[in-house]
Chains A and B, each alone.
Chain A
Amino acid sequence: MTLLSVRDLSITIGRMQPLDRISFDLAKGEILGVVGESGSGKSLTAMSVMGLLPLIRGRISSGQVLFDGRDLTRLKEKEYRALRGRRIALITQNPMTSLDPVLTVGSQIDQVARLHLGLAPAEAKARSIDLMQQLRIPEAKAVHDQYPHQLSGGMKQRIVIAMALAADPDLIIADEPTTALDVTIQAQIMQILVELVRDRGLALMLITHDMGVVAQTCDRVVVLYAGRVAESNTVADIFAAPQHPYTRALIGCIPREALQPGSLTGIPGMVPNVLDYPAGCRFHPRCALAQPVCAETVPPLAPAEGGLAACHFAGEIAPAKGVRHG
């Protein structure tokens, strides 16, 4: 069942229009990967759903954010506040932006349950410790009374996940949740998130720049480029038969042992500045397959290979190098 449906979402910040008609759906029990380079609009998409755009003086100029059938773009701040943290939770890249350094980590988890679920202090504490154990935090009782600086980065991120889960939300938005962590810890945290989604039937919107993480954890993928959807599809099809040259190029950027030296393709140039978006397809200046039409006409997001792709030549693209048809 679709829990979150973002439809033709456009936002403005001053005279910038950093998101242009973004659309995607996310069902319960599903992990949706939102990928793209820095500046593609991944985090702004998350902020739009969380109703946090006013913080950066942005606003939704058109489109809908349907959550459980309700259009969030029409909510008042007070109504949003009842939703945020309760039914939609956010996990950010740097756990220290979510944790208060002068409070024990346990009391911060307790607070969420007390505020949103109205639990008594003792109940909240027992529940927090239980959650911490589920997240495989060793000696959860002792850790409950510790301060953030006493914990490692991986443990702090687990505390943030525990805070996100404390009010029993339906949707978790995780914005690069493991980027700041060491590889072995990153793997542990992703494993925990995936299990949570499967066991509790949560919906997870995973924002990441790492196509490896996407391949290993997501069910469906939305690829963003310069504020527009380039392509969306199931994870299997995105990797086996990418329909947009940008998706294909992103996959070609990942170094692997099996690749021949010199075969890491990269993408020439860089993501354009929001005030300087090119006409037509915004990817065309960096695209190896660009034709005159690409500089003139914006390609519509149209059905291709079971998914959607915004490319004039979708369907004519060979599969990515080094990735087998699955």
Chain B
Amino acid sequence: MADALVSLRNLSRDFHSRAGLFGERRVLRAVNDVSLDIEQGQVTGVVGESGCGKSTLARLVLRLLDASGGQVTFDGTDLGKLPARRLRKLRQRMQMVFQDPYSAIDPRYSIREALLEPLQVQGIRLARGEAAAKVDKLMDVVGLSRKMAEAYPHQLSGGQKQRIGIARALILQPSFLVLDEPTASLDVSIQAQVINLLEGLKSEYGLTYLFISHDLGLVRYFCDRVVVMYLGRIVEIMPAKNATPRHPYTRTLLDSNFEPDPAKRRVVTRLSGEIPSAFDLPPGCAFAARCPRASDLCRRERPELTSSAPDRSAACHHPIEQQ
């Protein structure tokens, strides 16, 4: 197994709010006691539905948000203890690509200015010729015409903007990219182009990815490993390929996937119920209320994430038997 580039230990993040203007204070634990190793050169996929904490996790990993508890280590450095200046310096090596390419780029910047902005933030000064060469190279790398660098964001399509988002993340030559649903707002045809590009970049520059998505089919295609989250916690970690789920929630996600083959039709899902509110979680397993395998034990005691093999673990009292 490869070495961990990024390690998360017991990471948690709380958000506070009130129930109405004068209501009681409430705490929402968006990420709850998450421990995970992101291995060098691998694509780790985090999958889950809205409110599962996957986007909060993405921000915690880069310390764009401060954790309420726990630790993030990047290549041996504890991010939580770094002063702002050193953290900024380290950010050269870890970058993020956001879901919405429309809001990730300042509309007043030309593409060239947007691409060069991270260098300014880092206080890196380039000679004009050097900067131009860098922009040209990046445009080539992400498959856009060099002329497009003079355009403004509103002149670009969604797919082109997402390529710019990727180019901007690459300009500081990072080794680690957090990709937060980078294709969620794109057509499937454009999604395929962007995923192809990301595959190529990874092998060319030896990048490590943390890939956040709601699409288990896409994660199983693109990633090496799947991390499934439900209401702030990891419920299962498994290899992306040739593995069947042990956790009933992962099974449900898989069964909810619409397979593009009319010869393999089935009753899509028997799952009923919805995700409970993250504010007042039940004492036991958070999935118990929707789970066909739930017992009294599940409603009473929360199952810990335990491993059944070196590359897989699940948090379930009654895991699905493997054939």
Q: In the complex the two chains form, is A270's CB within 8 Å of B159's CB?
A: yes
Query: How far, in whole Å, are A262 and B197 apart by their CA atoms in the complex?
Result: 9
Minimum distance in angstroms from A264 CB to a CB of chain B: 5
Q: Is A298 an interface residue (CB 8 A)?
A: no
Q: In the complex the two chains form, is B222's CB within 8 Å of A255's CB?
A: yes
Question: Quick one: closest A residue to B189, CB to CB?
Answer: A267
User: Pick the contact of B260 from A187, A191, A239 — CB < 8 Å?
Assistant: A239
Q: Is B218 an interface residue (CB 8 A)?
A: yes
Q: In the complex the two chains form, is B262's CB within 8 Å of A326's CB?
A: yes
Q: In the complex the two chains form, is A323's CB within 8 Å of B241's CB?
A: no
Minimum distance in angstroms from B31 CB to a CB of chain A: 18
Q: Is A122 an interface residue (CB 8 A)?
A: no
> Across the interface, which residues of A come within 8 angstroms of B19, CB to CB?
none
Q: In the complex the two chains form, is B263's CB within 8 Å of A185's CB?
A: no
Size class of the contact patch on chain B: 35 or more
Query: How far, in whole Å, are A267 and B253 apart by their CA atoms in the complex?
Result: 27
> Across the interface, which residues of A come within 8 angstroms of B191, CB to CB?
253, 255, 266
Question: Quick one: closest B residue to A155, CB to CB?
Answer: B274
Q: Is B22 an interface residue (CB 8 A)?
A: no
Tell me the chain B residues, 216-252 only, with Cβ under 8 Å from chain A. 216-218, 220-222, 240-241, 252
Q: In the complex the two chains form, is A216's CB within 8 Å of B262's CB?
A: yes
Query: How far, in whole Å, are A37 and B192 apart by their CA atoms in the complex?
Result: 13
Contact with A along B173-215 (1 / 0, CB 8 A): 0000000000000011111110110010000000000000011
Minimum distance in angstroms from A142 CB to a CB of chain B: 15
**Contact flag A183-B257 (CB < 8 Å), given A253-B191, A253-B192, A266-B196:** yes
Q: In the complex the two chains form, is A265's CB within 8 Å of B192's CB?
A: yes
Q: Is A244 an interface residue (CB 8 A)?
A: no
Q: How many A-B residue pairs have CB under 8 A?
A: 141
> Across the interface, which residues of B come within 8 angstroms of A186, CB to CB?
256
User: Pick the contact of B157 from A266, A270, A324 — CB < 8 Å?
Assistant: A270
**Contact flag A212-B192 (CB < 8 Å), given A185-B274, A191-B267, A259-B221:** no
Query: How far, in whole Å, are A239 and B188 apart by their CA atoms in the complex?
Result: 16
**Contact flag A267-B192 (CB < 8 Å), given A183-B216, A187-B268:** yes
Minimum distance in angstroms from A256 CB to a CB of chain B: 6
Q: Is B281 an interface residue (CB 8 A)?
A: no
Query: How far, in whole Å, are A158 and B240 apart by their CA atoms in the complex?
Result: 33
Query: How far, in whole Å, are A236 and B262 apart by their CA atoms in the complex?
Result: 6
> Across the interface, which residues of B come within 8 angstroms of A79, CB to CB?
none
Query: How far, in whole Å, are A244 and B255 apart by their CA atoms in the complex?
Result: 30
Q: Is B10 an interface residue (CB 8 A)?
A: no
Query: How far, in whole Å, are A259 and B218 apart by their CA atoms in the complex?
Result: 10
Q: Is A254 an interface residue (CB 8 A)?
A: yes
> Across the interface, which residues of B come within 8 angstroms of A236, CB to CB?
262-263
Apart from A183-B253, A212-B258, A324-B261, what 15 extra A-B contacts exist at CB < 8 Å?
A: A37-B188, A154-B274, A188-B272, A191-B267, A191-B268, A211-B260, A214-B260, A216-B258, A253-B188, A255-B195, A256-B220, A256-B221, A261-B199, A262-B199, A326-B261
Can you list 17 A-B pairs, Cβ within 8 angstroms, ordered by A?
A183-B216, A183-B256, A184-B49, A187-B255, A187-B269, A188-B269, A211-B188, A212-B258, A215-B265, A216-B262, A254-B217, A255-B191, A262-B196, A265-B192, A266-B189, A267-B189, A270-B190
Give the 5 A-B CB pairs with smallest separation, nearest first: A326-B263, A266-B192, A212-B258, A255-B221, A257-B220
